[in-house]
Amino acid sequence: MKKSNNILLQFSFAILFTISSATSAYDNKHFLRCFVQNSKHPIGSGVISTPKGSSYSSILDFYAQNLRFTLPKTPKPVAIITPENESQIQTSIYCSKKHGLQMRILSGGHDFEGSSLVAYVPFFVLNMFNFRSISIDPKSRTAWVGSAATLGETYYSISQINSSFAFPAGYWPTVAMGGHLSGGGYGPLVRKYGLAADNVVDARIIDANGRVLDRKSMGEDLFWAIRGGTGASFGVILAYKIKIVEVSKKVTAFSVKRTLEENATKLVHKWQFVAPKMPEDLIISLTLTSVHSNQTGKRTIQAKFISVFQGGVDRLITLMQQQFPELGLTREDCIELSWVQYFAYHLGLPIESTSKILQSRVTPLPKDYFKTKSDFVQQPIPEEGLEKIWNLLLKIDSPPGRMEWTPLGARMAEIQESEIPFPHRAGNIFLVFKTIEWNGTDTKLMEERFAWIRELHGLMGQYVDNNPRGAYANYRDLDLGVNNIVGKISVEQARIWGGSYFKNNFDRLVEVKTLVDPEDYFRNEQSIPPLSSH
């Protein structure tokens, strides 16, 4: 297993270096001339950015949330198109088809494998920055949200209408709605209202033929596919119409840390039985990492239990005493705050800065180089399994590896696997996010960090269903398999990674792709292939 991973990494580097030269040698003048000549409206000064332009590097650096994709050897786009209107998107599709360019669609830049910013053939980036309007209808409790609007901007706008209004999406404020919703999207309301994609009621999209479609004109099959099946496989998402849900005016939160010296192993073991069965108004997430112990001075494991409850502190304390008394939660551990303030609290940021954090498009924490993986767990991991995980977490430092465990159950167990492409419903007790970061561009260091997270992933494989092993599409992981860079994409080849993300829904996604994009214009390393792919 280790040998095959090393070969894959070496092959990836060889491909990257070879094709980086090919992309840089591409003459973009024919594509740009076509774009200018066929545009129906005057082109503003910020629409076209080229490698020689002043804004080109700043755009790429701003949106690259993972610094792995800012390295000099990383393939760069021949141009960045930041459309001001829908017709410019249509023109970019027409001209890129004519001149043999792949399109990569950028809304927030949080793709963990950089697929919105990087390609291994000549490509351009369609930067959706201008499509970030938010239009809220309080009467129907719906909102149209542009694909580049961030979660933070959306939360803030909704809260300004009514502090009891919310949308059940993710924790990270600078993630854009387009990518988040098209892959699923989960957050602190997942146990009460399901995924973000479960709460989409309409959408606007431009397909491979340049047609602007809404739910009625695109049909239910395509509408099904772009809510959890990755929108960039099927078209350019312009906007989603979302359902606004109701939350308590005041919620109660806590963040409690326990180390191995404070019985963390038994607490984490008990958490697996308790957290997925709590009432839907309560979510207790878990973050695991290694820290220096204040008691021994040596490295130890820290388990952070971070929670938000749709109710008051008295009811929360009662629930915890009944269901999870081992944690020893006290009133002093709890804080009452507004719903939007919880997002700052969850990230460990001052709640007084909530408005600024939500409205800013600048990531609230420093960027770094990182690699991630995911799992869905069906049975509690025994204590001896947890101790094996601790041993791996203790092996690496500066910065350490981290795991985030999110309990499912409640509403997530009630929705059918086939309702949208995201299939990980009943039977899954929690989602695991695994990440490793590093500082610097040293290749050996990166290889060591890759090896570590692959070892952790291999260990976790002993405790999850492997038929197929589940993974979350929004935590894209190219280790699961990739499409051919050029030439025909085999559906069976794509099933290797597609089965992990979509299970039995993969075949329906292929059918939709075959119907709406048979020539496979919308293509990346893990895009859905059509049956007739060439």
Which of 23, 243, 186 shows the shortest CA–CA distance to 119? Answer: 23
By annotation, the residues acting in catalysis are 475
Q: What is the pLDDT of residue 319?
A: 98
Q: What is the pLDDT of residue 294?
A: 84
Give yes or no for a contact between 224 and 523, defined as CB atoms under 8 angstroms apart.
no
Which of 132, 104, 172 shows the shortest CA–CA distance to 372? Answer: 172
Whole-number Å distance between alpha carbons of 156 and 163:
9
Q: What is the pLDDT of residue 15?
A: 44
Whole-number Å distance between alpha carbons of 370 and 401:
10
The pair phi, psi for residue 135, each rounded to 5°, is -125, 115
Buried b (16+ CB within 10 A) or exposed e, 507-524: ebbbebbbebbeebbbbb
Q: What is the pLDDT of residue 26?
A: 86
Whole-number Å distance between alpha carbons of 175 and 152:
8
Residues in the chain where the model's pLDDT stays below 50: 1-21, 533-534
Q: What is the pLDDT of residue 1?
A: 41
Range list of β-strands (E), 353-481: 369-377, 402-407, 430-438
Q: What is the pLDDT of residue 23?
A: 56
Q: What is the pLDDT of residue 24?
A: 59
Identify any residues that bridge with 286 across adjacent strands, giving them in sequence order.
Answer: 305, 405
Token pair, residue 48, equals 């076209």
The pair phi, psi for residue 109, each rounded to 5°, is 85, 15
393-404 pLDDT, tens digit per residue, is: 999 988 999 999
Identify residue 76 by its one-letter amino acid code.
K
Whole-number Å distance between alpha carbons of 161 and 199:
19
Give yes or no for a contact between 134 and 169, defined as CB atoms under 8 angstroms apart.
no
422-465 pLDDT, tens digit per residue, is: 999 999 999 999 999 999 899 999 999 999 999 999 999 999 99
Three-state SS string over 78-145 comes to CCEECCCCHHHHHHHHHHHHHCCCEEEEECCCCCCCCCCCCCCCCEEEEECCCCCCEEEECCCCEEEE
